[in-house]
Structure 1
Amino acid sequence: MFVYDVFKTVTTVLGVAFLIRFFLIQPFYVSGQSMEPTFENNQYIIVDQVSYRLHAPHRGDVVVFKYPRNVAFSFIKRIVGLPGETVIVHDGEVTIINDQYPNGVSLEEDYLATRTSGEVRTKLGKNEYFVLGDNRPSSSDSRSWGVLPRHLIVGKVWVVLYPFDEFKTVHPPSYGKGL
């Protein structure tokens, strides 16, 4: 009887762990400097895989996604442009054109250490996002490889888990002007 109880308990625990790992949250390892200073190289993060089944991604969310040019690789970036918007990167600034701001509005990105390089103008279609790394000079992102289709988004970064002294929950920034 004891062996059966242990087997039943272990099976239940493993089943619950499997369901959580594959359907609710997923751990990822940050490799590289493209999201510094928000996320550092060698940090472990937890990604929420449920939120975007309930609602669309928001501007400022940090997401993990499958790289559009090779889905064997996962990237981490910040969403700055939403479906239907036009994103302009010019003269160090990111400008958003949408129904609310038909003449465009510049994002107030206080979390950046350096200005945004490059010259890009992209009109986003349905279910397309424009993503950028927080360390813009060291980031391969929508400026170089184009838009991110929604179906490639794995989930929203929820927490920095390790190193333990850097534990924190992740919240999107405020861009001002109702963005």
Structure 2
Amino acid sequence: MESWNDMPQPEDEALSTETKSSQGLTAWLLDLLETILLAVVLFVGINLVSARIRVESISMEPTLIPGEFVIVNKLAYRFGEMHRGDVVVFYYPRDPSQRYIKRIIGLPGDEVTVSGGRVFINGEALNEPYLNAPPTYMGTWQVPQDGIFVLGDNRNRSADSHVWGMVPLDYIIGKAIFVYWPLDRFGPVPGHPSF
């Protein structure tokens, strides 16, 4: 039989409720802090390996159109090789505060020639079905070992390597891999399988 001293008193129940309430609040705050910390770690991690850009010009039409948002893989060339036909994002050599997006045409050591509406790499014509129209300009460029030659897919409406020269390798941000907006253009950035 319990004595009256063993029975919970109203003050004890109130203290017990306050303790449980305090523990519940502490657990909730710890969960919230953990969630915020996880979100920050994910945000920083994602931004270390990728970037997002908005296509601003018509220079890459019809492949990429103004207003599209593209995901860029910043590690693509740290662990893999560049290929002709890759669409890359880089710092504009004349103003590194600006980011440009173009297609790699010439790799280090290549000779790029534009003549008669065609592009030739080391004397071989490229098949370029993605072009709006053939280029109307002409020229020959030797790509240095520390650079790449890039052109926009909208050849006659693009300021690119044929205008301002090569892109230094250390100016490359990464490979454009995916269009995520608008939804009707959702999908991988088309490369060119014949390069």
TM-score of the superposed pair, with normalisation by structure 2: 0.84
Partner SS, residue 87 of structure 1: strand
Distance 2:189 2:67 in 1: 17
Match of 1:19 among 31, 34, 45: 45
Cα displacement (A) at 1:78: 0.2
Query: What amino acid is the match of 2:97?
Result: A
Deviation beyond 3 Å, 4+ runs, structure 1:
none
Distance 2:39 2:142 in 1: 47
Q: 1:6 is matched with which residue?
A: 32
Q: 1:119 is matched with which residue?
A: 138
> Over aligned residues, Cα RMSD in angstroms?
1.1
> Retained in 1: the 8 A contact 2:63–2:190?
no
Q: How many residues align?
A: 169
Q: 2:24 is matched with which residue?
A: none
Cα displacement (A) at 1:125: 1.4
Structure with greater Cα Rg:
2
Alignment partner of 1:128 is 2:153: no
Unaligned runs of 5+ in 1: 98-103
Cα displacement (A) at 1:18: 1.3
TM-score of the superposed pair, with normalisation by structure 1: 0.91
Q: 1:33 is matched with which residue?
A: 58
Query: What amino acid is the match of 1:87?
Result: V
Query: What amino acid is the match of 2:189?
Result: V
Q: 1:100 is matched with which residue?
A: none
Alignment partner of 1:84 is 2:109: yes
Unaligned runs of 5+ in 2: 1-26
Alignment partner of 1:109 is 2:135: no
Deviation digits for residues 116-156 of structure 1 (CA, Å, limit 9, x no counterpart): 12122111111311100000111000000001111111110
Q: 1:65 is matched with which residue?
A: 90
Cα displacement (A) at 1:171: 3.6
Query: What amino acid is the match of 1:166?
Result: R
Match of 2:100 among 63, 69, 75: 75
